[in-house]
Amino acid sequence: IVYSNSVASMVKLLEMEDALLENLSAYANELQEKLETIKLYEQLLKKRPRMKSYEAAEEYVANPLNALALLRRLQQDWPKWLKYIKADSLQLEQMEERLKQAPSKRDLRNAVSKLLHLENFYDLETSHMIKGLLLEQQYDAQLDSVDCFALGNYLFRRNAFSRSTHWYRNAIRIYKEPYSKIYSKVYGVKLHKIYRQYARAIANETYILEKPKDKSTQEWAAAGAIVTRLVEDAKNKDIKRLIEQYLAGDEQIFIKDRARLRVKPTQLQSACRAESPTPSSSNLYCRYDRESSAFLKLAALKIEMLRLQPAVKLFHQVLHDKEIATLKQWSKEQTNWSSTSAVKSYALPADQLRLVDKLNSRIADMMQLDIAKHQELHLLNYGLGAHLGDPRCKSNSKSKHVACQLQGNYTKQATSSRQATMLFAASTVPLGGAVVFPKMQLTLKLPKGSALFWSNLNAIGKRDALANYVICPVLVGSRW
Question: 386 pLDDT exceeds 80?
Answer: no
CA distances from 151 to 108, 110, 209, 342, 348 (A): 11, 11, 21, 20, 38
Asked if the model's pLDDT at residue 216 lies above 70, the reply is no
**SS3 call for 337:** coil
Report, as an integer, the average pLDDT of 284-304: 74
Across residues 430-436, what is the average pLDDT?
A: 92
User: For the chain, what is the mean pLDDT?
Assistant: 81
HEC string of 263-323 equals CCCCHHHHHHCCCCCCCCCCCCEEEEECCCCCHHHCCCEEEEEEECCCCEEEEECCCCHHH
| pLDDT at residue number 131 | 95
The answer on pLDDT for 92 being more than 80 is no
Q: What are phi and psi of 463, to 5 degrees?
A: -60, 130
| Winning range, highest mean pLDDT, from 15-24, 229-238, 283-292, 297-306 | 229-238
> What is the average pLDDT across 205-222?
63
Question: pLDDT at position 127, please?
Answer: 92
Q: Which of 52-61, 396-405, 453-462 has the lowest mean pLDDT?
A: 396-405
Nearby residues of 82 by Cβ (< 8 Å), 6 or more positions away: 92, 95, 96, 99
pLDDT of res. 411: 43
Is the backbone peptide bond immediately before 212 cis, with ω within 30 degrees of 0? Answer: no
Q: What is the pLDDT of residue 278?
A: 57
Do 451 and 40 form a contact (C-beta atoms < 8 A)? no
Taking residues 389-410, what's their average pLDDT?
Answer: 43
Domains and CATH numbers, the chain: 144-263 (no CATH), 269-476 (2.60.120.620)
| Residue 394 confidence class, pLDDT cut points 50, 70, 90 | very low
Name the percent of the chain lying above pLDDT 70. Answer: 80
Is 307 within 8 Å of 284 (Cβ atoms)?
yes
- Residue 89 contacts by C-beta under 8 Å, 6 or more apart in sequence? none
pLDDT (mean) for 437-447:
91
**pLDDT the model gives residue 413:** 41
pLDDT > 90 fraction of the chain, expressed in percent and rounded: 36
- Residue 350 DSSP one-character state: T
Segment 116-156, tens digit of pLDDT = 999 999 999 999 999 999 999 999 999 999 999 999 999 99
Q: Is the pLDDT of residue 277 over 80?
A: no
Whether the predicted pLDDT of 222 surpasses 50: yes
Q: Can you give the pLDDT at residue 415? A: 42
Q: How confident is the model at residue 211 (pLDDT cuts 50, 70, 90)?
A: low
Which residues are bridge partners to 316 per DSSP? 302
Name the more confident of 336 and 272: 272
Hey, which of 57-71, 365-379, 382-396 has the most confident mean pLDDT? 57-71
Residue 323 has pLDDT above 50, yes or no: yes
R_g (Cα) of the chain, nearest Å = 29
Per the model's pLDDT, the better-predicted residue between 399 and 218 turns out to be 218
294 against 160, higher pLDDT: 160
- Predicted TM-score (pTM) of the model is 0.79
- Going by pLDDT thresholds of 50, 70 and 90, the confidence category of residue 452 is very high
pLDDT value of residue 1: 54
Residue 450 in this model has a pLDDT that exceeds 80: yes
Res. 368: pLDDT tops 80: no
Tell me how far apart the alpha carbons of residues 164 and 148 are, in angstroms, rounded to a whole number: 9
Confidence class of residue 296 from pLDDT cuts 50, 70 and 90? low
Give pLDDT, residue 276.
56
Closest CA to 334 of 345, 321, 350: 345
